Structure 1
Amino acid sequence: MYRTHNCGALRISDVGQEVVLSGWNQASRDFGGMTFVDLRDRYGITQLVFNIDDNKELAEKAQKLGREYVLRVEGVVRERSNKNPNRPTGDIEIEVRSMDILNGSKTPPFTIEDETDGGDDLRMKYRYLDIRRAPVRENLIFRSKLAIETRKYLSDNDFVEVETPNLIKSTPEGARDFVVPSRMNPGQFYALPQSPQTFKQLLMVAGMDRYFQIVKCFRDEDLRADRQPEFTQIDCEMAFVTRDEVLDTFEGLTKHLFKETLGIELPDFPKISYDEAMTRYGSDKPDTRFGMEFVEMNDFAKGQGFGVFDNSELVVGIVAKGIASEYSNKNLKELTEWMQRPQIGAKGLVYVKFNEDGSIKSTVGKFFDDEALVNWGNRMGATPGDIIFALSGEAEKTRKQLNELRLEMGRRLGLMDPKVFNPLWVVDFPLLEWDEESERFHAMHHPFTAPKKEDEQRMLTGDHETMKSLRADAYDLVINGVEIGGGSIRIHDRDLQSKNFDLLGFTKEEAEAQFGFLLGAFEYGAPPHGGIAFGFDRLCAVLNGQNSIRDFIAFPKNNQGRDIMIDAPAPVDQEQLKELHLDLDLENK
């Protein structure tokens, strides 16, 4: 046999046992008469000992081992004289009696250690080696446990796992589709699903009542740390439910996952409206691990002869507590320049510094005397040692800019403890967004989201301005400033769904061509229904206090959407293109 135990199993109670272990040579240490080898597998590391006095041939063989050689050893467990308290197997070692080299190895391009010297691209090219490192391996094991616990909870709550198609029809809403040419239908294409949205609604029409799927989805969009072209969702739908019943069910799922994977008992999740989130934090996914909430300043900062404020739709600020002595003029200048970067686009940054000695320093001291600035402090809850930061301009844009500053100050001041988790529900989103450039409405979530019950009639009969104020029966789960999942109560009435397509700029013909199958299904007794989808990769990262989802995906793509390990995407042979009726001479185009 290759092993009687794995490399993480043996303890002091096993001393004297004859064992067989197999794994990789993590590291070798040669001390002349003694050679020590750290043998590693998925489960841990066990130290092997080769003594030249006991078996010269075997010891010399061990001295020649390269890193990552695959070994099988037989030996006896003995107590270590120099114990390693940082390793579960650190009380014992194996006195090796025989060893087989199962496979050699080239010298790895980076060290297979917790802290490696390999850069991102190098590790992604040799991902099969990177996964041997404990941090990446443990992330993938965590992901597996999270999936198992998800299935347990949903199964126990009467959800049925149903697979939906991966080759579907392209739709114009949302992100760009990945398209797949059909060989048997010349000139026609499938699309890879951005989500199983319409299929899970059809399952509710079909009477399945409670559906879930841990499903792969695809979006052809620009990438960043929390995006990949293919990603995984916990996708769910329920029939005959209200919004709060959906929220209770998936708050329960979230609490279950935290308890079973991290041992953390979460309190009940607060709910705040979209409007409240934007007013208090400038974001529909606020990080509530720290305060620094927005204070609107129009009524006490405008009308004092400072044109920048007086001519603005909104003046709004935050208070950073206890940092006045730490932030010099140089620090404040650097922060202002940070806000003026094109990514944020602030024209400047107003600050009022309340020093511990009672003095006040401000960028607007020429326009506001100390009495006025003290009033600012009183109105905003600032005390000696604090700094007020303020921005002004068009309301929506200014709130977004101040949100960036709030988050940056949270990072700089160490207020974002990765071991603290603050979940909340954001509810009552706008149903539609008006886009000035295209001069049409877009769905804030997706075209199948139902309006609030009290807004249904206004949606059917209201004018253009009324449509801007419609609220959706939609909700997002936010944890530590990250949108973990989102969903809504769905439209289940053909007339209301047709009206929504009208508002989104679909002609009757386009709506029928794209979604006629769903509209038709609504004519056969569609029940009220709603659901949610969690970003599974993102949930894994948040539970582990990490920003990037890459290390929770076995074989991720880079920022250009490439798999640099297998070198994909790649050109396709001209004969394949001909079969697909895509005879493209790419070199001459």
Structure 2
Amino acid sequence: MHAYRSHTCADLTKQNVGDTVRLSGWVHRIRDHGGVLFVDLRDHYGMTQLICDPDSAAFAAVDAVRSEWCIRIDGEVKARDASLVNPKLPTGEIEVFIRDIEVLGAAKELPLMVFGDQDYPEETRLKHRYLDLRREAMQRNMTLRSDVVASMRRRMWDQKFREYQTPIITASSPEGARDFLVPSRLHPGKFYALPQAPQLFKQLIMVSGFDKYFQIAPCFRDEDPRADRSPTDFYQLDLEMSFVEQQDVFDTIQPVIQGIFEEFGGGRKVDTTWEQISYADAALWYGTDKPDLRNPIKMQVVSDHFRGSGFAIFAKLLEQDGTEIRAIPAPGGGSRKFCDRMNAFAQREGLPGMGYIFWRAGDDGMEAAGPLAKNIGPERTEAIRQQLGLGEGDAAFFLGGKPASFERVAGKARTEIGNELALTDENRFAFAWIVDFPMYEADEETGKIDFSHNPFSMPQGGLEALQGDPLKVLGYQYDLACNGYELVSGAIRNHRLDVMIAAFEKAGYDEAEVHSRFGGLVQAFQYGAPPHGGCAAGIDRIVMLLADEANIREVIMFPMNQRAEDLMMNAPSAPSSDQLMELGLRVIPQDK
């Protein structure tokens, strides 16, 4: 017999009754029923109930074990009494009578329990991640993650892609986040960077004549943490193709992503028609470039109904350039109590409030109510109702000013309304491509022009488009949104050197700097670069959605905490003086 096990803890069934078996695993739970000991033994695959009574020579040793001890047992498989069968377990029809036991690894008093679903502080969970990962939900999440990655690889190979690896130590590049720098021992005073993405290398792979590339790629960005973003590193399904247009990329990645969600979505509805929405329309309708389309609410501009109206705040606001009034329809929200609650929500978000109108039954039929309705009169309120397609029992909320000042809150309000009124379909994955991103943005304080997205994207209209106002230039850039999260980001690349240099010049990088920072790409583009494009899908975020988790750290094996610290491995840590000396570095103490 094998030294540790003849079966896993999920293998044994009624067919094994009478067999002598050997199992190894962790003590999940111990119960003493009048001198008879019941032990639930757990391994990665499942659970088996063990039994031991005083007639067993192993009784004293079994009585000494505690939760999370790692043990090996030999025993005889017995059928459970019909009244004691557990249909929830594959092994629920049997139990194993212990004849012999060996303690493979005793456990100290536990800082967190593996059995049960108790909540523990995140710091405790991450410091003792090896225990946290033993819990059923975490085992399920990590297995799901592994299966998703394996499925992605199969689907990419099925589309004739090949996987190639790109360097982990490279040069710094402007990907929109801070680099992790790595000092060079052989070149004192110079630094490598961990790649924010394989961007330049995958473009060079296309220039090298490889038609289709993909990689399960680690990416490193020194970012502030969020619930849906790791502060240090993440993995993405990275792909690139030659001789393609934007729609070709969409047609390639959709069956991969859609198939993953159909395979692992637990039966939830997966949209098969993926709308294409311009960045401008997404901002207008949803207040975000990653809309949750499970929520049917679509915001609209209603400025004309307030121009010269009796509601002086909006009327005067509209006299200023660049201002508008937007309405958020709220089907079923037509009560003063709900409207007041949403007004309080806006105030918590830092706004003075939200104007509102709601429609209710009146003496002569339906009537509009609320402060705005009284100020603008029945004709204007009726015109608003008809534009928004609302009726009795419905409401609408209004925000005004320059869109940049209220768009974010409007988007959050739309989400809040959809959730409060149960309009959002929780049992669905809804996808949309966001397209036509602006190439550039202006700093609010300095007015300086910089890239708003990927700097290596092809501007729509090419060189000619770059001759005019940079803030009107759109790029062949696209994101895939799902349920309020960005899952995929990509672009058709700027493969023409003259267009690339002109694009960087608009953002303040002269030709010499482009040559200096991206010399490899610049050189390559002088030797017959093909048109190419691709995208990258965030694996961590995809698994987070599939696992129905709100925090990305629930689907990462060993994540950092909110302060970008690894409490288990004590990272980041101070280097030794010898290390600093070898690298020619000195650490300047920071004032606390």
Task: Sort the TM-score into its range (normalised by shorter chain).
Answer: over 0.9
- 2:309, 2:547 → 1: CA distance? 49
Match among 158, 173, 176 for residue 174 of structure 1: 176
Whether the 8 Å CA contact 2:306–2:314 is kept in 1: the answer is yes
Residues 227-264 of structure 1: CA deviation (Å, up to 9, x unaligned) = 11111111111001111111100001112222333476
SS of residue paired to 1:278:
helix
The aligned counterpart of 2:163 is: 161
SS of residue paired to 2:145:
helix
Residues 446-496 of structure 1: CA deviation (Å, up to 9, x unaligned) = 1100012xx114334x23x2x221121111111111110110100111100
Q: How many angstroms does 1:585 deviate by?
A: 5.8
Alignment CA distance shift 1:319-1:587 (3 Å): closer
- 2:124, 2:377 → 1: CA distance? 58
Residues 75-97 of structure 1: CA deviation (Å, up to 9, x unaligned) = 12222221222222222211222
Q: How is 1:79-478 mapped onto 2 (pairs within 5 angstroms)?
A: 79-81=79-81, 82-228=84-230, 229-262=232-265, 266-310=271-315, 311-312=317-318, 313-325=323-335, 328=337, 332-341=339-348, 344-356=349-361, 358=366, 360-452=368-460, 455-460=461-466, 462-463=467-468, 465=469, 467-478=470-481
Whether the 8 Å CA contact 2:302–2:327 is kept in 1: the answer is yes
Matched to 1:485, the amino acid is: V
Whether the 8 Å CA contact 1:574–1:584 is kept in 2: the answer is no
Q: How many angstroms does 1:167 deviate by?
A: 1.2
Matched to 1:354, the amino acid is: W
Q: How many angstroms does 1:395 deviate by?
A: 2.2
Following TM superposition, where does structure 1 have runs of at least 4 consecutive aligned residues deviating by more than 6 angstroms? none
The aligned counterpart of 1:570 is: 573
Answering whether residue 510 of structure 2 is matched by residue 511 of structure 1, we say no
- 1:7, 1:217 → 2: CA distance? 37
Q: How many angstroms does 1:266 deviate by?
A: 4.5
The aligned counterpart of 1:67 is: 67
TM-score (norm 1): 0.94
Q: How many angstroms does 1:367 deviate by?
A: 1.2
- 2:560, 2:378 → 1: CA distance? 55
- 1:550, 1:585 → 2: CA distance? 32
The aligned counterpart of 2:541 is: 538
Whether the 8 Å CA contact 1:557–1:563 is kept in 2: the answer is yes
Matched to 2:443, the amino acid is: D
Number of residue pairs matched by the alignment: 577
For structure 1, which runs of at least 5 residues remain unmatched after alignment?
Answer: none
Query: 555-564 or 58-67: which moved more?
Result: 58-67
Whether the 8 Å CA contact 1:340–1:347 is kept in 2: the answer is yes
Whether the 8 Å CA contact 2:9–2:45 is kept in 1: the answer is yes
Query: 564-573 or 307-316: which moved more?
Result: 307-316
- 2:371, 2:98 → 1: CA distance? 73
- 1:579, 1:488 → 2: CA distance? 42
- 2:286, 2:572 → 1: CA distance? 40
Residues 78-120 of structure 1: CA deviation (Å, up to 9, x unaligned) = 2222122222222221122211111210121111035123221
- 1:171, 1:485 → 2: CA distance? 20
Residues 368-404 of structure 1: CA deviation (Å, up to 9, x unaligned) = 3345434422321222211211111112333332111
- 2:341, 2:183 → 1: CA distance? 52
Matched to 2:151, the amino acid is: E
- 2:361, 2:86 → 1: CA distance? 50
Matched to 2:237, the amino acid is: I
Whether the 8 Å CA contact 2:463–2:499 is kept in 1: the answer is no
Q: How many angstroms does 1:323 deviate by?
A: 3.2
Identity of aligned residues (%): 38
SS of residue paired to 2:329:
strand
- 2:341, 2:20 → 1: CA distance? 65
The aligned counterpart of 1:25 is: 27
The root-mean-square deviation of aligned C-alpha atoms, in Å, is: 2.0
Alignment CA distance shift 1:481-1:305 (3 Å): same
Q: How many angstroms does 1:334 deviate by?
A: 4.2
Query: 380-389 or 238-247: which moved more?
Result: 380-389
Match among 527, 531, 536 for residue 530 of structure 2: 527
For structure 2, which runs of at least 5 residues remain unmatched after alignment?
Answer: none
- 1:226, 1:498 → 2: CA distance? 35
